[in-house]
Amino acid sequence: MPVTEKMICITCPMGCTLEVTHEGETLLNVEGNTCPRGEKYVKEELTDPRRMVATTVKVKGGLHPLVPVYTQAPVPKPRIFELLAKIRQAEIEAPVEINQVVLEDPLGEGVNVIASRDLPEV
């Protein structure tokens, strides 16, 4: 049975409100998108929703005890808690360099977790 619901497109800062009609994963109609990327976003959201993840990782011997990290690409939304659990268990050694791979492909999705700043050792 078709369902109509509102979604906010998060592809760009415009944040268009979309009215989406779909039946399960099948998109039937989308209105309110200012550009074609809105429809692409809805299709992905219905079939394979993904998000970027930013958090911190423990650092041994560093100037600070944590370093900010983020995923190199969006990861499947249903696996975010699994990813966060793996990141929480990790501890790396200082020094840390910006863009250093902190966790290599922790979900087996081809997406590394990388440092977003330098962290010198003390």
Binding site for ligand SF4 (CB under 6 A): 9, 11-12, 14-16, 33-35, 37-38, 41
Nearer to ligand SF4, 15 or 108 (CB): 15
| CA dist., res. 38 & res. 110, Å (int) | 25
CB of 19 to ligand SF4, least distance (A): 12
Nearest residue to 8 via CA among 46, 22, 18, 45: 18
Degrees to nearest 5, angle at CA 109 with 77 and 59: 85
CB of 51 to ligand SF4, least distance (A): 15
CB of 18 to ligand SF4, least distance (A): 7
